[in-house]
């Protein structure tokens, strides 16, 4: 007698499978198809195959500039998040309760607040008469134009992405056996050496994971460049918005969106590869 029917797990997963195929897989496929459709400014989308949109993206300087800007903003954001997030995670892990949990929550809770609110908050802080410029004025500098420049976008992105960097690093740190650090110290290693040769290598998977997540999310960010970048500072996401809602050139927008998706998937896959290669052997 079979204790459980073979089909039970499939039946249980059926609702989710139905939902995801029709509202995730199907739309993505349709969009992929769309990206190869011809677009005519007068008549709209035509059901004819063309490489034109992809060709335009890869040859036109305008798009190159957009991708480059997106790339370096995402990269800078990742770097800053790393420089702030890793030490912060480390400092938090060395705190005692209850402060540790309190500060961890303060740092992570903004994740639950909508990005629009946070972007708006930054636009107030970074405006020509915002708090930041007021502080500069107080010490006799400025006013600096921060809002509607790349810097505003980076600052706000760092604010939004920092939790995503801290969480995996924090998780890695939690898995550390504190005895190992003490063992190194007892063998006459300095604090710095212990950090560099004992703690850091074990935390590296978390650092890698956080960096890739932050990079991927920053590259596809929409609300922040939209509200803080102004009309002239476009990133990939805002260009897609323009194509869809202003230009109505859906195929081009679809092509851009798909390139973004593929870039993201590539980033995630490379993480898996690196992790499987180097770290699984050592750390299991």
Partner 1 sequence: MSKNGPLALCFNALVIGFMLAPLVVVCLVAFTPENTLSIPTTDFSLRWFKAVFAHPDFMTSFWNSVWLALAAASVSTCVAIPAGLAITRYQFAGRDALNALFLSPLIVPHLVLGVAILRLFSLIGATGSFFWLVLAHVVVVTPYVLRLVLAASAGMDRSCEQAALSLGASQSAVFRRVTLPMILPGVTGGWLLAFINSFDEVTMSIFVTSPATVTLPVRMYMYATESIDPLMAAVSALMVALTGGVMILLDRLYGLDKILVGSK
93-132: contacts with partner 1 (CB under 8 A): 94-96, 99, 101, 103-125, 127, 129, 131
d(CA 190, CA 254): 54
**165 near partner 1, rule: CB under 8 A:** no
CA distances in angstroms from 215 to 66, 144, 222, 235, listed in the order given? 16, 27, 14, 14
Q: Residue 80, CB half-sphere, CA atoms under 13 Å: how many? A: 18
Q: What residues from 200 to 219 belong to the interface with partner 1 (CB under 8 A)? A: 216-217
Task: Report which DSSP code applies to 3.
Answer: S
Residue 127 beta carbon to partner 1: minimum distance, rounded to whole angstroms: 7
Q: What residues from 171 to 190 belong to the interface with partner 1 (CB under 8 A)? A: 171, 174
d(CA 282, CA 205): 12
**163 near partner 1, rule: CB under 8 A:** yes
Nearer to partner 1 (CB atom), residue 18 or residue 141? 18
Nearer to partner 1 (CB atom), residue 205 or residue 226? 226
**272 near partner 1, rule: CB under 8 A:** no
Nearer to partner 1 (CB atom), residue 10 or residue 58? 10
**227 near partner 1, rule: CB under 8 A:** yes
Q: Which residues pair with 46 in a beta bridge?
A: 38
Q: Which residues pair with 44 in a beta bridge?
A: 40
**17 near partner 1, rule: CB under 8 A:** yes
**149 near partner 1, rule: CB under 8 A:** no
User: Near partner 1 by CB under 8 A, which window of 55-63, 71-79, 196-204, 237-245?
Assistant: 237-245
Q: What residues from 24 to 83 belong to the interface with partner 1 (CB under 8 A)? A: 24-28, 30-31, 34
CA-wise closest residue to 91 among 199, 9, 193: 199
CA-wise closest residue to 257 among 242, 275, 272, 279: 242
- Helix segments in 39-149, DSSP class H: 52-59, 61-93, 99-108, 115-126, 131-138
User: Near partner 1 by CB under 8 A, which window of 55-63, 201-209, 238-246, 275-283?
Assistant: 238-246
Nearer to partner 1 (CB atom), residue 110 or residue 142? 110
**1 near partner 1, rule: CB under 8 A:** no
- In the chain, the N- to C-terminal Cα span, in Å, equals 38
């Amino acid at each position: 007698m079979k204790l459980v029917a073979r089909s039970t797990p499939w039946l249980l997963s059926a609702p989710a499978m139905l939902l995801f195929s029709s509202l995730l897989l199907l739309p993505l496929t349709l969009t992929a198809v769309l990206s190869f459709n011809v677009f005519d400014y007068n008549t709209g989308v035509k059901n004819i195959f063309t490489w034109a949109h992809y060709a335009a993206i890869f040859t036109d300087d305008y798009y190159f500039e957009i991708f480059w800007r997106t790339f370096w903003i995402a990269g800078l954001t990742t770097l800053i998040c790393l420089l702030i997030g890793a030490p912060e995670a480390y400092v938090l892990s060395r705190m005692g309760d209850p402060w540790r949990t309190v500060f961890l929550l303060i740092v992570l809770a903004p994740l639950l607040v909508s990005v629009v609110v946070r972007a708006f908050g930054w636009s107030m802080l970074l405006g020509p008469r915002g708090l930041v410029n007021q502080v500069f004025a107080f010490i006799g500098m400025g006013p600096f134009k921060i809002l509607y420049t790349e810097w505003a976008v980076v600052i706000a992105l760092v604010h939004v992405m920092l939790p995503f960097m801290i969480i995996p690093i924090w998780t890695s740190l939690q898995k550390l056996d504190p005895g190992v650090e003490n063992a190194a110290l007892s063998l006459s290693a300095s604090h710095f050496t212990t950090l560099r040769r004992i703690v850091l290598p074990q935390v590296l998977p978390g650092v890698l994971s956080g960096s890739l997540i932050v990079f991927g999310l920053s590259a596809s960010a929409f609300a922040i460049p939209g509200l803080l970048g102004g009309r002239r500072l476009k990133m990939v996401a805002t260009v897609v918005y323009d194509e869809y809602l202003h230009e109505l050139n859906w195929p081009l927008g679809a092509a851009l969106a798909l390139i973004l998706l593929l870039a993201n998937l590539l980033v995630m896959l490379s993480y898996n590869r690196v992790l499987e290669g180097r770290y699984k052997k050592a750390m299991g």
